Amino acid sequence: MEQEGKRRRFAWEEDENFLRKVEINVLIPKKIREKARVECKEYVDAFTECCSSSGIGMVVKCRKQNTTLKACLTKYYHDPEFFEMCKKEYLEERKNFRETGIKQKDLPATQSKSEAT
């Protein structure tokens, strides 16, 4: 029997840089997609505009915009430096959450990240 007050420590509790599979395969890629859409904003806007003005014919009419958008997004999806940047950002957000209990998205828009710590 375990002593009272002691409990088994998980790997993610011991090492603040440890990433679970769900973080590597789901959460960090989600952050990559969000940031890539911001980086490729001009292509996203062009594709959105084309789709909204083309109606049902958008499949044929917006191929060029779709191709350029996919090329831009794919560039970020496969960039190891971009992955590392997003991973560091995710680890920082997770660290802040563990310290404060406040999710990053729950912070007021006027409050900066440095004020949250």
Classify residue 12: in a domain, yes or no: no
**Structural domains counted in the chain:** 1
The CA R_g of the chain, rounded to the nearest whole Å, is: 20
The percent of residues in the chain predicted with pLDDT above 70, rounded, is: 77
pTM for this structure? 0.73
pLDDT (tens digit per residue) in 49-76:
999 998 888 889 999 999 999 999 999 9
Residues 86 and 61: their CA atoms lie apart, in Å, by 34
pLDDT along the chain (117 residues), means of 10: 60 76 94 97 96 89 96 97 96 89 68 48
Please give the residue range of the domain that contains residue 28: 17-94
Classify residue 5: in a domain, yes or no: no
Q: Report which of 75, 91, 71 is spatially closest to residue 31, judged by C-alpha positions.
A: 91
Classify residue 22: in a domain, yes or no: yes
Classify residue 11: in a domain, yes or no: no
How many other C-beta atoms lie within 10 A of the C-beta of residue 95? 13
Classify residue 89: in a domain, yes or no: yes
Residues 38 and 60: their CA atoms lie apart, in Å, by 25
List Cβ<8 Å contacts ≥24 apart for 87-96. Answer: 87/19, 87/28, 89/31, 90/23, 90/27, 90/28, 90/31, 91/16, 91/17, 91/19, 94/23, 95/16
